[in-house]
Amino acid sequence: MSAKSKDSAKNTKDKPEQEDKLEILLDQLVDNSDTLLSFMPVLVKLKEAGITDLIANISKDYMPTDIEFFGKMFSSREFTYAGMKTANVLLSLMYAMADEKVSDTVKNLMFNSRGIMDAASSAASDNSRLGTLELYHMLKDPEIASGIRAVMSLMKAIGSVLRKSEE
């Protein structure tokens, strides 16, 4: 028997199995059609925005070719533990951001981060000595005094939290 006829015989044998699978798939599609149809507008918008192509390209270009390694990595204890820890941190961050004062403070710091970093870099690059008299004059500046009080209060609160977490 030729290789072509062997393939033909194999395909004929697999055809009933494929039809059974297709029938099961179609039954599931019909049973869940309302759910699938509710996602169609979202999928259309994702396609129109080019996001489906982006996801396809990312999966093609960046997914590991060794799927077995990929499966082992995602099912490893370390990955699961890291995922749980990350979720816990994200939940605590979300909880903190729910407080208006906290979120406004973080937002103000983030929107002004360039100016803060420029001032810090400028001060750090100044190699001149800082005398006691110059330090005393700096402490009279209301912004510096306010910043020092904020940092000291922050350090006290962090120390208190760290002490409680050790108990």
Give phi and psi for 126, each to the nearest 5. -75, 110
pLDDT of 92-115, one tens digit each? 999 999 999 999 999 999 999 999
Using DSSP's 3-state secondary structure scheme, residue 31 falls into: helix
DSSP single-letter state for residue 152: H
User: Where are the domains positioned within the chain?
Assistant: 129-167
Q: Quote the pLDDT of residue 68.
A: 74
Q: Quote the pLDDT of residue 116.
A: 92
pLDDT of 51-61, one tens digit each? 988 888 887 77
pTM (2 d.p.): 0.44
